[in-house]
Structure 1
Amino acid sequence: MPTCSATSLRSQHLKTCLWDACSLSTRSKESCRGLPNPRLSSSAAAVAPRPRPSTTGNHPAPTARTPLTTVHYTTAFLRRVLPSKERENVRETDSLEFWENMLGKAQDGLSVPTTGMGAARIVVYGVGECSGARELVDALLEEPFAPEYAKTHIRERWKSLDSSNSLLLRYGTVTRDAEGTNILSVRSSWLQQFPIPVEIQELPSRTPTPTHTHVLPQQKITSLHAVPLFSADIPIIVCNPLTTNLSTLFSDTSIPWTHTNAILVITSSSTVPVPPLLEQQLWARAPSTLKVLFVDPVRALLALQTLGEDSNSASSVQRYQDGFSESRVSSVSAAIAQQLEAMNNPSTGPNGVFDRLRKQNVLDLVSDSLHVCRNTVKAAEHETDAVRRGVGSLQGQMEEFKAKIGSDVFGVEAEKSEVKVALDQAKAGVKKTMDRLTGWRMLWKVDDIADTVNASIDRSWCRDLENKLIFQVGRLSVTQNFLTGAANALLSSFPKPSTFHSLILQNTLAQLRVQPSFAVHPSSLTLPIYTRRTQLTYPTNALHQSAQRAVVGMGGSVLSGMGVAWAGWADQLELLGHFSLGVGAETAAGLGMFTAVAGIWYSIGRWEKAKRRWWRDWDRVGEGLERDLRATLNQVVADQVLVVPTTACENLRDMIKKREDEVAQLKDEITILEQDCVRR
């Protein structure tokens, strides 16, 4: 069924972009400097892919690509994904140099025409000393009726060789080609039973190391077995499930798991059924193209030994046949024959088989390199997930702190807060002073009203609250140091080649830590208390002026009343002449007394009204104090306590978003290249 036109067009543009990149690979390495070459990491390549091509326009995709063209495409792509082996903790088989070398050799091999008769190379690699790889080779090459010296020659083939070297077994006279060399000629019909001659390259056993772990220097040199395995026509991996962890085995990128002709031989006893759990693990982890065989080479050797001891006995022949058949060693030969038959074409002859093997090997190398790229990209995803979890954990700690700090400092809002309690206590203390300043007592302290009230405010204004806030400043400082250390530890957890190892971000956080405004001082939370206490100065001065006006008003009323009374008596004595009031002396005296008393009560009322107005100003200042304290606390938390972890989280989230976009584009490109290999 044809795909959606938008998707097809997008794939065509992506292939065209890769075509432009791969055209540079045919030139010198100097000409490839135009390709993006960002910083590479040990756990993931520094993925800096090219921008996605626009879906508009008409850019036809390359058609009918040859294996050489596919190698060019892949080589250009590898330079953007795989890290250099110069980086720390980079396995050789995960490095750019390894795959450039492998693909370069394969490309050179395709350029040379096939001449003469060769042999298909079968590489046998045992995972661990107890894998049973040598026993498997013994069971394959040893013939039941061969002379004893020929059997000894095969079984003792490693006796005079260094275990770190590989051994090449080919058909020929039963002799070692040269003393100390790694080539051994054996006359075994097994090597001649296939459509074309084959030879076995036996590799030394090695314990696998998990992918993307810290690799020791002595473990980085893996080309001794990796190069022959990846360049083999048929790689055979032998392992013992009792001594080899399957998860570790399949994570070993130095083994060509995606090779078309790869065979995994599980050595297990033929007398014991295969555990269902082992089969489930194999089918869950093994690639779909990998052929998995269960073989018992030890039983096959015992069967050969039984026949060799008494070849004339019918019972020995029967035990040999039963033992060798139940060991399932013949299934390995059948699998090899099936794979070679698939390459056979009678019209082209043996040379055609070798041509197809070489082309298939090139495509397998491309597939293997893309498999490493996919593992590298997957490692980038795992690293991104780890960074996201670290950022989420740090963000969760900050959110928990911000949710609790308000109630810890000011108390639960549902109950009476610490600020309201402190204001009530301060009001009770100042109220005693204000109650003593009655209208009559105010007359004797009229010049000290402001000083008396200010002194009472200083004694009572939120002293306990101020001490509690200073204590909370210490807790804020401890939390600041803890969260700042957590942010620095998160950044330091990324290895140096990692994309998330940002020196710029570390320098930014260091600059924030050394700024004068970073430290939390005792006055950081108490400043609103001083500010609001200062705001009470104006109402207090207004109260002082009201007291002075009240006293002046009282004095004026008394003097006015005395003047009216005196004028009445003076009129009675005819001292005023023509300015007579026209009232009696008694009436004038009463009117004067009324004027004096009314003026005094009016002034006292004015004083009491001034005190009520002062208390209203007190309430407004108190209400603003709680708002200011909460706003100051939030500002101190945001700008001082959490400034370093907040900056770290924001920058890391931006880096995570950028990395996710890059990884998504690289996965699309890998998929396109893998599909091209399948179409081959």
Structure 2
Amino acid sequence: MSLSKLVRSTSSIPARQLAARNVGASRAVCSNCRPISNETSQSRKAGLSLSRRIQVSSQRTYASSATAIRPPEQTVDIIPTSRPARSVPVAGAASTSLLLEDIRHLLVTEIGGADEWLGRVEAALSDLEAQRRGRIGVFGDHLAAPQDVISALLQDPLADSEATRQALLRRHEASNIEVFEIRQDVKLHRDPEALAIPSSWLQASGYDVVEVNAQDTDAALSTLLSTDAHIVVLDPIRLIDTPQLSVMLPSLLAQGTVHFVINGHLPPNVSQSTVETSLRDQLSRIKIESLDGTTFDQATSTITFVQAEKALTALDALATGLQDHSASTSASKAHTFEVFQRKFLHSNIGPLQTTLHQSLSSLAQPQLHTAQQLATLAISHISNVISADRDSTRAASHTVSELRRSAMQAASKAKHTSVSSRGIDGAMVEGGVQYEMDKLKGDIERSFDGRLSWLGLVGRLRVDDVALEMGGYLGNRFGVELERQIIFETGELSQLQTDLDHSADHIIRQLSNPTHGPKPKTHPFTSPLLSNHLSTLSLSIPPLAPTSLLTPILIRRDQLVGLSVPRLQLSAQRALLSTYSTAFLGVSMSWVSYVPPVDLISAGTATGLGLLSVVASLAMGQRLWGRAQKRFWRDWKRVTGMMKGDLQTRFATALDTQILAKPLAAAEGLEKLIQKREKRLDELQDRLDKLRLRL
């Protein structure tokens, strides 16, 4: 029975009694580690064989009740003779091998540029040369902690020796191994990229574990496609919304068995059903088009929630309790078994072991099935390459490519030399938008310090000059130099538009009406529909006028003159009125306090209070005027900051909708016509269809 069932069966026994029962009967069995031989290591890397060990006494079973009450039997290695072990051929692999060989030939001679798929097909051919144990690939990023899941999945403290347990837990220490294999053997072996352990779960399932930690997506996918089943470990927040999984999942789901394991604590106020619904919703958006036209059904996916951290804590507690043989620690042993029972049940590792075992047991001939599925994916890849080649510029003529290149190059040059794009981060360039705005800002600041200073306004007893001077200054000076530069650039863009339109018309006539010999022949690229489309497009595109690109400057200028300046004028009026009112009130109160019948203060005191009220009113007015200026500068920063973006957007819109519209439309239409002549791709498609019929 499984470890989780054993936990449930012992949960009814008091922990103290269970601890006392296991004190004398449980012990850690350590076996010396020795390196794998070169022959075995090479065989593992090629995926053709596994190290073969046997037990002297009894066959090991997965988490059996026998292992719960006694340590595992001693094991010995069978020393291999000089004669190598005879490999067992894969039953029924002849037709699949021939199909893979034809696919490999097609990849080498016709497709090209698909080294990763060529390597995958060749690896599948090599894999079919000899029968092997099943392989289950495990993948997940560091946030999902897939290594912890595998550590919890494969541990059996009731049967594992301490050396086996530590080798499993520390298999990735001080290393960054991209592909790590854990396989079943009767004794513990370790080399840099593999670990052979006597594992109950591996023995019962008949599968070895291949952990994939490659950062390169193609390399990771190649390794996973060479395995017979897959465990995808996810964190409960992002689920499959990660860069690598979004690329690999379509191929993994199309290949076959995928188990999704969600590891970790759920977010607050989130249930497992909610997370599962979100995952299935993400899976439903993955379109897996198979050769028969059916799509991937996400409802068939197996989803398991686990907490590997709790499982490791529970297993560690159990292993510690089993190693302690002191009779004086029965209380601590009781606590240890309580921790194990509680945390292991909550971790849900037991149901995961059972689910995986049942699912893997249902796969008949997994090695052959994996090769067949890889052949299907390889044919699908070739089909995608053919479809992409039909749409690529490889079939386009040099004339059409030159039209597109010259149009894009001219547009890029115009964009980089435009005043709207002029400038350097952290510095200013003369003639740029920021340079002109800063120069104008300096003039306004000098005006605020001079004629429009607070004392200047108070001395003139009027603030109407604020609106007149500021409005006139901004209306006459704001963006004037930028307007001159943009008008000049508009003329250059208009000439560029004319040249590109003429070039597109010339190429259309050249490809549509070639002359060969005495009689003109209709060129295969002739398309009345394309000609009509370009003629309609020419009539619908308005020419560039000198003021076409000035709209952002005019709008931002009107915002300052129509909104910011009136607000500044109103603030000045309020400040001046507050100053005069406060001063008059202070002087009046001082005078009233001095004259009879009040006669509260002396003449000197009244004079001092009156002067103090005047000074205070001036200070208050100065503060109000300063606040008004700050509001004005906030408006200024917002308006001038958005103006540069508006100019860039307007310039880019003019390039896309007016300058490049016709030449790009002509290039696109001609490329579609050229694709009709791709006879070589048609022949390749016929060969691919014949291979598809052999699946």
Could you say which TM-score interval applies, normalised by the shorter chain? Answer: 0.3 to 0.5
- The alignment's TM-score, normalised by the length of structure 2, stands at 0.40
- The alignment's TM-score, normalised by the length of structure 1, stands at 0.41
